Amino acid sequence: MPNSVSTLLIKHPRARLLAFEYSAFAVDGRPDLSMVIYTPATPADADRIRSLLGRGVTPSRAEGNRQRKTARRP
């Protein structure tokens, strides 16, 4: 269970305002560490982030491209 859940707003020069929800978790056995997970707050935020990362290339599509390039090498 997360220790805290909140929203972070970032003003990006190209994507404008981006909202992320984030959760902080304690790391078992390491009281000096925490893990923070950020996710887009809305589908519109997710779309703007995708556009910044390469016009909506999904990991499965990128992986398929990588396999084709590897297969073409002698």
Exposed / middle / buried, residue 22 (Cβ in 10 Å: 0-12, 13-18, 19+): middle
Number of domains in the chain: 1
Average the pLDDT over 17-38 and give the result.
Answer: 93
Confidence of residue 44 (pLDDT cuts 50, 70, 90): very high
The three-state secondary structure class of 4 is: strand
d(CA 12, CA 53): 13
Confidence of residue 14 (pLDDT cuts 50, 70, 90): confident
Residue 38 above 60 pLDDT?
yes
Average confidence (pLDDT) over 38-59: 82
Q: Which domain holds residue 9?
A: 4-72
Global model pTM greater than 0.75: no
Per DSSP, what are the bridge partners of residue 7?
21
Residue 65 has pLDDT above 90, yes or no: no
Q: In sequence order, what DSSP letters do the residues of 10-65 get, joined into one string?
A: EEETTTEEEEEEEEEEEETTEEEEEEEEEEESSHHHHHHHHHHTTSS--HHHHHHH
